[in-house]
Amino acid sequence: MADKSKRKKCLRVKIISMGNAECGKSCIIKRYCERRFVSKYLPTVGIDYGVTKVHVKDKELKVNIFDMAGHPYFFEVRNEFYKDAQAALLVYDACDRKSFESLDLWLQEMGKQQLVDDVVVFVCANKVDMGKRVVDRLEGQLWSQGKGFSYYETSAATGEGITEVFQDLFEQLVKLSECDGKRTIPTVTPGFTKDQVDAILRLKNGRDNYEKLGVHYTASRDDINKAYRKLAVILHPDKSMAPGSEDAFKTLVNARTALLRNKE
C-alpha cells in the first residue's frame, strides 16, 4: 500500500536537448548529472540516453534525458525522439553566432514531429565563461522571451546557471503536471513585437546615430524627427515590455539630439 502511494507520486518526464553540434549540450547534462566537465570534444553519436531521479517539493521525478547529436548527419535518428518530449534544452554557443542563428531551424525540426507549444523550452546561452562571446545577453533574451521561452546563461565548464536551469525546468514540469499537462502559460505570449525587437537591436548595434535611427546621412531635420517619433511610439518604456527597451529609448533620445545638433 505504501509502495503504491509512493509510485503514484512519481512523475515520469522526458527531456530532450537540441542545438548545433559542439555547442555544449552533452557537457551541460554531464555537469548537472555528474558534476564534472570534460574539455575534450566527444561528439554524441545519434542519441545518448540517461535517467535520473530528483525531488521537487513532495514529488519524485523520474527524468528521462535524451541528449541529441547536433550534427545534421543524425537528422533521422533525432526525428524518432522528439515525440512526447515535455521539455527541451535548446542550447547555443554564445561564442558562435551560427549556433544562435540556427535556433529557429531547431524549432522547425522539432515542430515536424511534436507540437512546439506542448514543450516547455529552456534556452541556454552556453560557454559564457569563454570571454569571447559574440551573441550578447540582450539578443538571447529578446529571441527567447519573444517566443515565451525561459532564457539562461550557462557554462558547463564553471557550472554557472546549470543548477538553476534544471531546477526551473523541473519546477515547471511539476506545475504542468498539477494542471493535467496543460500549459498555464499561454502558448504565444511574446509580450512584444518584432518591430520592437528590431528597433532595440538596431539602436544597440547601429554603428552611428544615423544607422541607429535608420535614416540616411542626407536626412533633413524633418526626416530625423519623423524617424524619432516612429521609434519613440513603439519603444516608450510605458508601452514596450521587451528587455532593453529603456536603454534603447535613452539611446534614441540621445541619437536624435546629436543628429539635430549636426544639422543646425
> Which residues of the chain form contacts with Mg ion (CB under 5 A)?
25-26, 44
Least separation in angstroms between residue 166's CB and ligand GTP is 15
Residue 232 near ligand GTP by CB under 6 A: no
Residue 130 near ligand GTP by CB under 6 A: yes
Interface positions, 65-104, toward ligand GTP (CB under 6 A): 69-71
Least separation in angstroms between residue 125's CB and ligand GTP is 10
Residue 156 near ligand GTP by CB under 6 A: yes
Least separation in angstroms between residue 154's CB and ligand GTP is 6
Residue 195 near residue 234, CB atoms below 8 Å: yes
Residue 21 partner contact from ligand GTP, Mg ion, none using kind-dependent CB cut-offs of 5 to 8 Å: ligand GTP
Strand order in the sheet with 47-56: 47-56, 59-68, 10-18, 87-93, 120-126, 150-153
Q: Which stretch binds ligand GTP (CB under 6 A): 79-87, 115-123, 152-160, 169-177?
A: 152-160
Residue 134 partner contact from Mg ion, ligand GTP, none using kind-dependent CB cut-offs of 5 to 8 Å: none
- Give the β-pairing of 87-93 and 59-68: unpaired
CA–CA gap between residue 77 and residue 69 (Å, rounded) = 9
Per DSSP, the residues of 189-245 read: --SS-HHHHHHHHHHHH-SSHHHHHT--TT--HHHHHHHHHHHHHHH-TTT--STTH
